[in-house]
């Protein structure tokens, strides 16, 4: 039999071992937990440091780039470098990029300044040319008055004596040529005034129906000479506040053009007006040869001629439609054309019904 003492010693040893083992386990567990905590803290610190470093480095790169981009945007808007301070950065490439931008901007500023000076000089030259042309045209107009006066007196044989057939034909030719020259000089003067912004406009109340009737009355004899039908196709009534003489001038140029481009005995010219809320739309329609699409884009330019051949049958300076455009725009309106070759042409121009502020000076 095993002695009781031995059994107690064995139990005591086992118990001691269990207690030692449990203590060891608890110690190792505590050490493991402590190590894990240390590792967690260390990892967190490393992550935080990395994040801060990344933010700092990112800021040091993106902030100067954003500043440079802002300067470029401002330059594209104003064509001036408003901020010439160097960008605060340690990155060599950004410094070089900013230096290149500053250099380019200065060159662009200088180029724009030179161009502006050049444009201003050209404008001044154009202005002097226009003023010179206006002066010459005025001086040409002055001697035409007595020429026409004396020719008209020669045509009245009871005043200056009787003329034979050749003399009468010569006087009539002089009178006709003087009238053409007078119209040409007048057109040039009007064009120059439009270019200088000095064409005068006098606004008044205008009865639309009376205006159209007056135009028909004035041009009926001229149209009848070529057996061209001139009719009014409008029952439009109403009053507009504008310049009656200038509107008559637009109608005159358009109707004279139409008379030149329709066939005698077959030609028909129709004038009229339509109204909307704010404008009166006038029109001159003919059944003439029409205008090609290419010419339609050019006809409102000064001195433009549809027929540029030396043998062209139609007279004119090429200023009539340019004058029409200048007058309608000066009155606050606009003019345009619709045409088909061999069918006919319609010129439209609209004038505001109510008073508009007219700028006579540029």
CATH number at residue 276: 3.30.565.10
Percent of the chain with pLDDT over 90: 21
Task: Tell me, yes or no, whether 98 lies in a domain.
Answer: no
| pTM reported for the whole predicted model | 0.59
Same-domain pairing of 230 and 277: yes
Please state which of the ranges 64-73, 158-167, 237-246, 331-340 shows the lowest mean pLDDT: 64-73
Query: Is there a domain that residue 36 lies in?
Result: no
Per-residue pLDDT band at 326 (split at 50, 70, 90)? very high
Band (pLDDT 50/70/90 cuts) for residue 48 is: low
Distance from C-alpha of 126 to C-alpha of 310, rounded to nearest angstrom: 29
Are residues 234 and 185 part of one domain? no
Helices (H) and strands (E) in the chain, counts: 8, 7
Structural domains of the chain, count: 2
Same domain? For 210 and 347 the reply is yes
Q: How far is CA 331 from CA 64, 160, 353, in A?
A: 54, 46, 10
Mean pLDDT score, 118-125: 80
Give the pLDDT confidence score for residue 311 in this predicted structure: 36
CA distance 263 to 273: 24
In sign, the C-alpha dihedral spanning 46, 52, 53, 54 is: positive
Q: Which residues contact 207 (CB under 8 A, 6 or more apart)?
A: 238, 239
Same domain, 173 and 157: yes
Residue 72 lies in a domain: no
Asked if residue 267 and residue 218 are part of one domain, the reply reads yes
What is the rounded CA–CA span in Å between residue 175 and residue 154? 10
Range of the domain at 157: 134-196
Residues 175 and 239 in one domain: no
**pLDDT band with cut points at 50, 70 and 90 for residue 193:** confident
Does residue 248 fall inside a structural domain? yes
Residues 316 and 191 in one domain: no
Q: Are residues 163 and 214 in the same domain?
A: no
Q: What is the mean pLDDT of residues 251-269?
A: 90
Of 174, 196, 218, the one marking the end of a domain is: 196
Judge whether 44 lies within some domain: no
In a domain, 285, yes or no: yes
Position 47 scores a pLDDT of: 55
Q: Are 287 and 346 in contact (CB under 8 A)?
A: no
Do residues 345 and 258 make contact, with C-beta atoms less than 8 angstroms apart? Answer: yes
**145-159, 237-251, 286-300: which range is least confident on average?**
145-159
Q: Report how far residue 207's alpha carbon sits from residue 214's, in angstroms, rounded to the nearest whole number.
A: 11
Residue 324 within any structural domain of the chain: yes
Give yes or no: residues 192 and 226 share one domain.
no
Token pair, residue 338, equals 């619709």
**One domain, residues 192 and 324:** no
223 lies in some domain: yes
Give the pairing of strands 239-242 and 204-207: antiparallel
185 lies in the same domain as 247: no
pLDDT of residue 351: 93
The whole-number pLDDT of residue 244 equals 92
For residues 172 and 271, state if they share a domain. no
Residue 70's CB is within 10 A of a number of other CB atoms, namely 12
Averaged pLDDT, 62-66: 68
User: 196, 222, 247 — which closes off a domain?
Assistant: 196
């Amino acid at each position: 039999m095993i002695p009781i003492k031995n059994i107690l010693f064995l139990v005591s040893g086992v118990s001691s071992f269990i207690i030692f083992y449990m203590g060891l386990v608890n110690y190792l567990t505590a050490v493991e937990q402590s190590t894990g905590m240390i590792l967690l803290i260390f990892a967190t610190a490393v992550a935080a440091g990395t994040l801060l470093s990344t933010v700092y480095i990112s800021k040091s790169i993106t902030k100067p780039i954003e500043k440079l981009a802002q300067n470029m945007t401002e330059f594209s808007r104003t064509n001036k470098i408003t901020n010439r301070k160097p960008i605060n950065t340690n990155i060599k490439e950004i410094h070089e990029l900013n230096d290149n931008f500053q250099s380019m901007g200065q060159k662009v500023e200088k180029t724009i300044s030179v161009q502006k000076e050049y444009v201003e000089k050209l404008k001044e030259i154009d202005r002097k040319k226009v003023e010179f042309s206006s002066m010459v045209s005025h001086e040409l107009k002055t001697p035409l008055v007595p020429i026409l006066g004396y020719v008209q007196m020669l045509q009245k044989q009871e005043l200056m004596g009787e003329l034979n057939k050749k003399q009468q034909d010569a006087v009539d030719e002089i009178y006709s040529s003087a009238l053409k020259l007078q119209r040409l000089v007048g057109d040039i003067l009007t064009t120059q005034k439009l270019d200088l912004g000095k064409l005068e406009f006098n606004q008044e109340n205008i009865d639309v129906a009376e205006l159209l009737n007056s135009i028909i009355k004035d041009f009926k004899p001229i149209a009848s000479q070529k057996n061209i039908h001139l009719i009014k196709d409008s029952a439009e009534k109403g009053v507009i506040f504008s310049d009656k003489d200038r509107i008559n001038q637009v109608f005159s140029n358009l109707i004279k053009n139409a008379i030149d481009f329709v066939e005698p005995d077959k030609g028909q010219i129709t004038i009229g007006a339509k109204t909307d809320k704010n404008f009166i739309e006038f029109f001159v329609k003919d059944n003439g040869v029409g205008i090609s699409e290419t010419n339609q884009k050019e006809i409102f330019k000064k001195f433009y001629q549809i027929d540029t051949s030396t043998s062209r049958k139609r007279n004119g300076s090429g200023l009539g439609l340019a004058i029409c455009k200048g007058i309608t725009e000066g009155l606050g309106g606009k003019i345009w054309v619709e045409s088909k070759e061999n069918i006919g042409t319609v010129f439209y121009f609209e004038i505001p019904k109510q008073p508009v502020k007219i700028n006579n000076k540029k």
